[in-house]
Amino acid sequence: MSTRLLHPSFQNGIRKGGGENAGGILTCKCSDRPVKVKVSGGIAHNHACGCTKCWKPQGAAFSVVAVAPSENVSVIENSDKLVVVDRSALIQRHACGACGTHMHGPVEREHAFQGLSFIHPELLDNNSWPEPGFAAFVSSIIEAGVDPSEMEGIRATFKDLGLEPYDCLSPALMDYLATWTAKKNGVLHQ
């Protein structure tokens, strides 16, 4: 059996981020008129994601995805090629209609993540972005066709890589979401 490709950027170990984390230009996979998106500032919460909606490189079971403030994200070339994958989704994923690469995904509705845009840092024109910190929605890769018998090995590989695997988001982010909900519902007041 061939080895499951988790993601090309960390298949053979995590490359530590350059530390600068100053954003850059995201470019889609088109050779003709590629879409370019400028991220003017650092990214945060970079992680591997197994959800069925995140864009993944060819053959990979996981995406690598992070957030930036939406005000720091702007399409600078060939915006006419962008289409929204699913307008009903929380994350408004804007994909290149030609090559399919997801270029930016703002959260616009009222939500703990409102004002953030999800981007794939591997599309940046530099390697100064921080490495992923955990793996989210790991069990979801079964819904994309990974055999359940592979899951034990995949979770073990993530732990070996130093990426703690979760079937939702990380505890810190899950607590953040719950805190937002508690405040919205008047349960917490600070």
* Residues near a copy of itself, by CB under 8 A: 138-145, 147-148, 151, 155, 165-169, 171, 174-175, 177-179, 181-182, 185, 187-188
- Between the alpha carbon of residue 50 and those of residues 4, 44, 148, 170, 177, the distances in Å are 13, 18, 14, 13, 19
Q: How far is the CB of 167 from a copy of itself (least distance, A)?
A: 4
Q: How far apart are the two ends of the chain, measured CA to CA in Å?
A: 53
For a copy of itself, which is the closer residue by CB, 54 or 141? 141
Q: Is the dihedral of CA 31, 32, 33, 35 positive or negative?
A: negative
| Dihedral angle computed from the Cα positions of residues 82, 141, 107 and 164, in that order, rounded to the nearest 10 degrees | -130
Nearest Cα residue to 121 out of 144, 95, 103, 136: 103
| Dihedral angle computed from the Cα positions of residues 117, 122, 123 and 128, in that order, rounded to the nearest 10 degrees | 90
Q: Catalytic residue at 51?
A: yes
Q: How far is the CB of 2 from a copy of itself (least distance, A)?
A: 19
For a copy of itself, which is the closer residue by CB, 45 or 81? 45
For a copy of itself, which is the closer residue by CB, 80 or 175? 175
For a copy of itself, which is the closer residue by CB, 128 or 176? 176
Q: Catalytic residue at 30?
A: no
Q: Catalytic residue at 168?
A: no
DSSP alpha helix (H) spans, the chain: 151-161, 171-184
Candidates 28, 30, 51, 99; catalytic one? 51
Q: How far is the CB of 116 from a copy of itself (least distance, A)?
A: 19
Q: How far is the CB of 15 from a copy of itself (least distance, A)?
A: 27
Candidates 28, 30, 49, 99; catalytic one? 49
Would you please indicate which residues are annotated as catalytic (active-site) residues? 49, 51, 54
